[in-house]
Amino acid sequence: MKHLGGGLVATYEEPIHPRTSGGSTRSYLVRRLQPHLPPWIGVAGVGIAGALGNWRWEGSAGAGVGLTLASVALTGATWWAGKTTSSQRRLHSAITVAAGSAWLTGACLAGPLTGAMDDLYLIGGPVLALSWNVRLTLRTSDPAGETADKGLLERVGLARAQIGAAKVEPNRVTAPLLLDAGTQTNDDVAKALPGIASALDVPRTAVRYQPDPSSERRGELVIVPRDMLADTVRWEEEGPAFPGGSITDPLILGVYDDGAPLALWLPGDKQAGRNATHLLIAGMTGSGKGDGALNLMTEILTRKDVIMWLSDPKEFQDFRPLLPAYDWAVSASADTEIMVEAVKAVIPARTKWLGAHKYRQWEAAASRKQTDPKHSCHDDGTACGCPGLPFHVTWFEEAGVSLGLLGDDAFNSIANLARSAGMALIVSLQRPSHDQIATTTRDALGGRLCFGVPNATAAGFMLPDTVLDAGAAPERWANRRPGYNYLVAPGIPEERYADPGRTRWFTDESVSLMETIAQWFARNGAQVDPVTEKAAATVAGRAYTERRRVDVDASDLEDDDMTDENEPLVDADDEGIDPEQELPALGDGADLPLVQETGYKPDPAEARQLLAQAIAEFEAAGQMVIGPKDFTDWCDRNGYSRPWVSERLKEAYLEGRLADAGRGRWRIVPQMYNA
């Protein structure tokens, strides 16, 4: 067994061979005694030096002065040289040098056999030698004569660093590290982590370093000898962590590599000193990002004080079992565009409500009926009884597609303002590079859930430099270990940022449990509050008020597929028609089309009327954000150009029928609210 200092332990079984000869026994004893010989050699050397010095300088006053000064200088040099060692070793070394040099001075001047000089030598010499032997025995059993942790640090270029007493936990060792002043910094430890992992024969991600923020030469070295993430955990085996709880309870996504729960918080908590956060989820194809998203989504949808909007251009491929739980779910790009506009309108409405009810930030009490006079919107201090305001999560899945269509500015205002409105924005995409998402938006999202990435450059887009320096390396997994991730978010201790975790695995057997969760939420979860509903409808109109909702209580059979036995199979107007009779001949002009495809161009007044009708048709269809390109077919039918349409859209904007949505796009103002 080989011990690495105060708890940094690597075990090796040394083969025990039978000693079959006296020669092997003698060699073994010599090898074990060799580390203890230097103190005895030093004692013998001092005795010989004393005898030779007496032969040379006996009775010499000048030699006495020189030897005394030399003894003092040597003792002082020993004390100075020991400043980087422990205080016990420094004192022991100085006492040994002082005693040896004092005896040597006396022996050179008076003679080694004069008076009590020989007795002092025969008693004091072995005592000093044995004191060093005892110290070496207590310090380590390593025959090399130095602790293994010092040998480890020396091999990785940190020879002068010191390791303190380690804290040993199940599958986790934490040791304080003190670097040499003026020559070593925390950056040197970060560079040495691969070497430490190699010396300990553990994966690179099993060794982390947490610098002390108040010092450039102090920190903690963390080693996790056994990867507890290797065993895949099925989600349905454990299920949600806090079913029926609050969104303020931790969202458990999986476990860390030392077995601790992988937890995330979205709302803030002033008592805990935690800020609210958004979340950016990223990972390459096959890294387990989809299962990670399901872990988070099922945790959210089992809490009673939250509502969720979802945009998924993949037509809810992964999330379809959860559809009944969403307040609003869209897949088309036009619907995503209007959802973004709705979120922009909802934010000020919610912040106004929170301010009127004296909430500096959203908390669980805000989701309930306001019966506390401290949170009343009445000026007289009486309880107002207003309906509560649930926490609001807006999730953009495969957001690279949405950003490509909407532009970087689409999420900027949401990311910067939504946290104060009791809202969390979750953006999921494969690679959050500069060409996918703006740096401003990425920084405003705050939280990071980083799965495996193809290279270190991609890791730099997701994780802060301090986390990468501490040992985080998601490129080491790529997509070879699905579910492995790093989580960086408020409420998580900073020393945990570089600890890898793993989300749970969703199998085909988990679908029924997901459907049960969705049905429970549809019946028992929070309903959209009047403030959010009105603000969304003001912007989105029928796109929100007539949004697709899944009725969990509806029969599996559609009404169109059911036939009443007593209902006639032929309409009353068609009862007198003989299906065998020939149709009457067509009259002159009866074969002309009802609408002339070409050759007719409406006058300006009629064209404006047709354009207004087209806008109304877009509104009726739920497409609330439009632009000239959406009128391509209309222009072809009526012989007008897109520039003409652009001018008419600007006129509609001045009249209040449209609102500017940016990027040459216009948002339809619903007529019922415009009136």
Q: Using the 8-state DSSP alphabet, how is residue 266 labeled?
A: -
Among 202, 223, 244, where does a domain finish?
A: 223
DSSP symbols for 558-577: -GGG---TTS-SS-GGGTT-
**8 A C-beta contact, residue 505 and residue 254:** no
Mean pLDDT in residue range 80-86:
77
Nearest-CA neighbor of 443 among 456, 455, 434? 434
Quick one: pLDDT at residue 552? 56
- In terms of domains, do 311 and 380 share one? yes
Among 120, 139, 158, where does a domain finish?
A: 139
Quick one: pLDDT at residue 397? 92
- 3-state secondary structure (DSSP) of residue 391: strand
- In terms of domains, do 179 and 282 share one? no
Q: Is the pLDDT of residue 492 over 60?
A: yes
- In terms of domains, do 135 and 152 share one? no
Q: Using the 8-state DSSP alphabet, how is residue 245 labeled?
A: B
Q: How many domains does the chain have?
A: 4
Q: Tally Cβ neighbours within 10 Å of residue 369.
A: 11
* In the chain, % of residues over pLDDT 70: 84
Domain assignment present for 497: yes
Here the tokens at position 147 are: 């602790």
Q: How confident is the model at residue 485 (pLDDT cuts 50, 70, 90)?
A: very high
Domain assignment present for 228: no
Among 105, 139, 173, where does a domain finish?
A: 139
Highest mean pLDDT among 145-154, 169-178, 564-573: 169-178
Quick one: pLDDT at residue 401? 76
**8 A C-beta contact, residue 181 and residue 23:** no
Whichever domain contains 625, its CATH number is: 1.10.10.10
Q: How confident is the model at residue 74 (pLDDT cuts 50, 70, 90)?
A: confident
Domain assignment present for 553: no
- In terms of domains, do 604 and 649 share one? yes
What are the C-alpha distances in Å from 484 to residues 193, 433, 449, 451, 478?
Answer: 20, 20, 10, 6, 9
d(CA 352, CA 97): 78
Q: How confident is the model at residue 381 (pLDDT cuts 50, 70, 90)?
A: confident
Quick one: pLDDT at residue 567? 53
d(CA 361, CA 350): 11
Domain assignment present for 357: yes
Domain assignment present for 26: no
Q: Is the pLDDT of residue 660 over 90?
A: no
Mean pLDDT in residue range 352-362:
95
- In terms of domains, do 127 and 163 share one? no
Query: Which of 42-51, 361-370, 371-380 is least confident?
Result: 42-51
Q: Tally Cβ neighbours within 10 Å of residue 660.
A: 11
**8 A C-beta contact, residue 391 and residue 422:** yes
Domain interval for residue 133: 2-14+33-139
Question: What's the mean pLDDT when you consider all of the chain?
Answer: 82
Quick one: pLDDT at residue 489? 95
d(CA 296, CA 448): 13
- In terms of domains, do 348 and 390 share one? yes
What lies within 8 Å, CB to CB, of 310 at 6+ separation is: 316, 319, 326, 328, 329, 330, 395, 397
Domain assignment present for 629: yes
d(CA 114, CA 524): 100
d(CA 6, CA 655): 77
Total-model pTM: 0.66
- In terms of domains, do 419 and 353 share one? yes
- In terms of domains, do 134 and 152 share one? no
- In terms of domains, do 397 and 303 share one? yes
d(CA 58, CA 382): 104
- 3-state secondary structure (DSSP) of residue 222: strand
- In terms of domains, do 385 and 481 share one? yes
Quick one: pLDDT at residue 5? 38
Q: Is the pLDDT of residue 601 over 80?
A: no
Q: Is the pLDDT of residue 6 over 70?
A: no
Whichever domain contains 204, its CATH number is: 3.30.980.40
Query: Which of 204-208, 261-265, 434-438, 452-456 is least confident?
Result: 434-438
Beta bridge partners of 174: 167, 222
Domain assignment present for 375: yes
Beta bridge partners of 62: none
CA 426 to chain centre: 13
Highest mean pLDDT among 109-123, 254-268, 423-437: 254-268
Whichever domain contains 321, its CATH number is: 3.40.50.300
d(CA 505, CA 518): 19
- In terms of domains, do 263 and 348 share one? yes
- In terms of domains, do 265 and 340 share one? yes
Domain assignment present for 583: no
